[in-house]
Structure 1
């Protein structure tokens, strides 16, 4: 593969990594697809091994991303409806206040949903803090897996060129 092709793959991986933080952009899927395209174009044993390792890392990351924080949220008695409200206001906030609005909207949405169900500001805020920590954990797990997959690709690309 040419240097230009490697640069395009690297850009696609970088966009995927950024997509982990941006709603509506499938971060891990983009990283995986870029590595899949690279492996297909290389068509070497090393390329396919790199793709297999990256697939395993990303798959494990996605599995842990959903199971670990979800279990913590259930333990804190935070409902899916609360997270949906946070996500909806987060998306609205993203367009009202670019980038920072995502976080502000999510926190506000979770707080308002918890306040409506608990009728106690202190308990609602404690639940909001717990939900934000859970989402941060989820994003961190996905980002970690995607960064490991990107590192595996970088090593494979260096070995082949």
Structure 2
């Protein structure tokens, strides 16, 4: 693959990493797709290296996605944060995103979770405690997904280094 092609793949991966933190784009999918395109093109000349790199990166992304859903959900269940509350937070987050681009996503989510918890529990202290747990759970989920994508990117960088 030419230097221009590698730079293009790197740019798509970078956009994917940003898309994980600012959930406007399907971040992990972009990282996966960019590495797949690299493997297909690079696989013509270096098939073993390209496909081993792709397999390792894919395994890291898959593991991160599994952990992303299992670990935070376990923590939120222990804190008694219900799925319905998170859905209300997500709806408020989406509305907030259009009212205040990017920042409104976070503010809307927090407001939505807090208001839904307050309506259910009728206690401001308990509602705020649940809101903090929900925010921690979402942050943990994003952190795990980002860590997996960064590790997959590192594997790809090693693959690029080996093939060039």
**What residue ranges of structure 2 are gaps of 5+ in the alignment?**
none
1:64 shift after superposition: 0.1
Q: Distance in 1 between matches of 2:24 and 2:70?
A: 21
Q: Is the 8 A contact 1:39 1:51 kept in 2?
A: yes
Higher mean C-alpha deviation, range 92-101 or range 55-64: 92-101
Aligned to 1:12: 12
Separation in 2, partners of 1:46, 1:78: 45
What residue is the counterpart of 1:143 in the other structure?
A: 146
Shift of residue 24 of structure 1? 4.4
Superposition deviation, residue 100 in structure 1 = 1.2
Match of 1:89 in 2: 92
Gaps (5+ residues) in structure 1?
Answer: none
Offset, 1:91: 1.2
Q: Secondary structure at the match of 2:21?
A: coil
Paired with 2:84 and 2:16, the residues of 1 have a C-alpha distance of: 28
Instruction: Name the residue aligned to 1:112.
Output: 115
What is the TM-score with the length of structure 1 in the denominator?
0.97
1:1-161 aligned within 5 A: 1-43=1-43, 44-161=47-164
Query: 1:19·1:26 contact (CA, 8 Å) conserved in 2?
Result: yes
- TM-score by length of structure 2 reads 0.96
Task: Report the number of matched residues.
Answer: 161
